[in-house]
Amino acid sequence: MASSGVQLFGFVLALLGLAGTIAATYMVEWKQQSRGKTHNIYDGLWMSCSEYETTDCDFYESIFKLPVEIQATRVAMLLSIFLSAVGLLVSTLGMKCTRFMDGKSETKAHTAMTGGIIFIIAGLLSLIITSWYVSYIVDANKVAHHLNSFEFGKAIFISWAGSLLNILGGVFLCYRRCSRSTTPHTVNHLLPTSNQKSDYV
């Protein structure tokens, strides 16, 4: 069985990973473009902002007019958040430090492991989609003029960090310490039940 300290540590890591994934999803700095020293343009999953003395942000009008990379990243990040929320609920039920399913230690261990697996899937999903978005920026910069090239925004690094924390937390929740109990073998000596009489001549 996994110790409650290991489970709690994994739960905290996964919780921080979920917070990072939520923050990255709604941040606007997914990619940024600098035009001079004072003019910056940011593109996020929900809006784009232009920073020049003041910051003006505009929400994307129609989802159907968005590029494929933004639509796919948005869906995958929301799905990752949903899976992490489910993993949060499931692992809470299965952790040893909670009072749910008392007396069913094996069921609690399997429940905590299930929550950990869900966290790992959520982390892998956000990690893969963020890396795919980065590859899109790299490919776009290869054909773009250097004045129109984009850089990686803060949201990408926060998303990567949240993904890794989700995966690491899920691994700790899945951890089970296998201790094999060995029963000492006792050697039974045969004791004579009857006294042998020796004949003296």
Whether the model clears a pTM of 0.85, i.e. scores above it, the answer is: no
**8 CB neighbour count, 10 Å cutoff:** 15
**Which ranges in 2-104 belong to alpha helices (H)?**
4-26, 68-94
Give the tens place of pLDDT for each residue, 163-189. Answer: 999 999 999 988 764 434 344 444 444
Distances (CA, A) of 30 to 49, 64, 121, 156: 11, 20, 22, 6
In terms of pLDDT, which residue wins out, 193 or 146? 146
142: part of which helix (H) or strand (E)?
Answer: helix 105-143
Q: What is the pLDDT of residues 74-95, one digit of tens each?
A: 999 999 999 999 999 998 887 7
Position 44 scores a pLDDT of: 87
More confident call, 143 vs 11: 11
CA-closest candidate to residue 126, choices 95, 100, 87? 87
Contact between residue 1 and residue 174 where contact means Cβ atoms under 8 Å apart: no
Q: What percent of the chain has pLDDT over 70?
A: 76
Please report the domains of the chain, with CATH numbers, ordered by start residue: 4-27+66-174 (1.20.140.150)
Residue 146 confidence (pLDDT):
60
Rg (CA), the chain: 29
